[in-house]
């Protein structure tokens, strides 16, 4: 197995892409460049871009069915690399680590989570289910607008109204589960920071780890599907995969690439079966769904 220094290669790619986009805008504008800086707020970026997309009648919506569909043997899965920019990524991180939401995080055994939107409302007063009670933040609404403007994947009756943010430290994960009937069967996952893989199974697998708990020794059976989730990527799954398969993120310090991985040759760097993808820093995921709201009052 070859361990790949994923983070170093990624940093290199990022530096190159940032350099080239600055040059491009200088040439395009001809004169003075008003470069986007970290000072510009996330809301500003998102609303400006959403407005442009709306106004541009010729703008083609992302053809999810063709351009981003993974060759997955089960269900429909889509993977969009670099769905947000590095600046948007760090702005989102700032928002979710902000002192105003600091006390809203719920620490679970192997991850912590923060919840915005409808589910939070429904959970109010129900201690067992309590997640948090945050109304949808403006940046969340703008992110949802962006997804809805960019593609027709959500119809107007199932616009996302619920955002769940998971924070995984290195070695943390989420056990095999289905998201269940509380949601419309369509999930968008925006990943930030570290790359990991998401695994799908027909039944929850048997997992054996090394004594120190850091590495995987045995996984039985192998996943029916594995998708690498790079930082800033958007992953979408729906229908059959949603209803009939469990998904999980292993609690381990690294991920091994299985022969059922459907995007190992679409990432940067690319991977081969048996390669090891180390997790070098924490990962944050933003899961965007439509929650079927039922008033429990």
Ligand X SMILES: O=C(O)CCC(=O)C(=O)O
Q: For residues 45 and 165, which CB has a smaller minimum distance to ligand X in the complex?
A: 165
Nearest to 288 by CA among 87, 106, 98, 80: 80
Is residue 165 near ligand X by the rule CB under 6 A? no
* Interaction residues for ligand X, span 226-255 (CB under 6 A): 247, 249
User: Can residue 263 be called a binding residue for ligand X (CB under 6 A)?
Assistant: no
Q: Does 114 bind ligand X (CB under 6 A)?
A: no
Residue from 164, 236, 257, 288 in contact with ligand X (CB under 6 A): 164
**Shortest CB 174 distance to ligand X, Å:** 5
# chain residues binding ligand X, by CB under 6 A: 10
Query: Using the rule CB under 6 A, which residue among 174, 176, 199, 228 binds ligand X?
Result: 174
Between 148 and 249, CB nearer to ligand X: 249
Q: Give the CA distances from residue 191 to residues 89, 92, 236, 272, 288, in Å, rounded to whole numbers and listed in that order.
A: 9, 11, 11, 22, 11
Q: Count Cβ atoms within 10 A of the Cβ of residue 168 and give its class: 0-12 exposed, 13-18 middle, 19 or more buried.
A: buried
Is there binding between residue 188 and ligand X (CB under 6 A)? no
Q: Which of 280, 272, 260 is nearest to 219 (CA)?
A: 260
- Under rule CB under 6 A, residue 167 binds ligand X: no
Single residue of 42, 120, 137, 189 touching ligand X by CB under 6 A: 189
Backbone angles phi, psi at 197, to 5 degrees: -120, 150
Q: What are phi and psi of 214, to 5 degrees?
A: -90, -30
287 binds ligand X (CB under 6 A): yes
The residue among 50 and 167 lying less far from ligand X, judged by its C-beta, is 167
Burial, 35: exposed, middle or buried (Cβ in 10 Å; 0-12, 13-18, 19+)? Answer: exposed
Q: Which residues bind ligand X (CB under 6 A)?
A: 164, 166, 174, 179, 189, 198, 247, 249, 285, 287
């Amino acid at each position: 197995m070859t361990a790949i220094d994923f983070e170093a290669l990624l940093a290199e790619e990022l530096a190159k892409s940032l350099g080239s986009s600055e040059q491009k805008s200088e040439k395009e504008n001809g004169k003075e460049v008003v470069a986007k800086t970290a000072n510009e707020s996330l809301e500003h970026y998102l609303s400006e871009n959403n407005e442009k997309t709306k106004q541009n009648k010729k703008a083609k919506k992302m053809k999810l069915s063709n351009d981003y569909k993974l060759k997955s043997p089960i269900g429909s899965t889509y993977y969009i690399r670099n769905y947000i920019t590095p600046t948007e990524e760090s702005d989102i991180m700032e928002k979710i680590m902000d002192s105003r939401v600091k006390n809203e995080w719920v620490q679970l055994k192997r991850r912590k989570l923060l919840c915005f939107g409808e589910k939070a409302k429904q959970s109010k007063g129900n201690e067992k289910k309590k997640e948090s009670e945050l109304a949808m933040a403006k940046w969340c609404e703008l992110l949802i607008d962006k997804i809805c403007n960019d593609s027709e994947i959500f119809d107007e009756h199932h616009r996302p109204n619920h955002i769940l943010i998971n924070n995984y430290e290195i070695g943390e994960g989420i056990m095999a589960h289905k998201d269940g009937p509380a949601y419309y069967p369509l999930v968008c996952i925006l990943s930030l920071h570290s790359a990991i893989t998401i695994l799908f199974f027909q039944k929850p697998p048997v997992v054996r780890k090394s004594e120190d708990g850091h590495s995987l020794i045995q996984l039985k059976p192998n996943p029916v599907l594995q998708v690498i989730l790079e930082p800033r990527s958007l992953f979408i799954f729906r229908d059959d995969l949603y209803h009939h398969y469990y998904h999980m993120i292993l609690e381990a310090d690294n991920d091994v690439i299985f022969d059922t991985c459907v995007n190992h040759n679409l990432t940067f760097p690319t991977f081969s079966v048996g390669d090891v993808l180390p997790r070098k820093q924490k990962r944050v995921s933003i899961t965007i769904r439509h929650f079927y709201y039922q008033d429990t009052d």
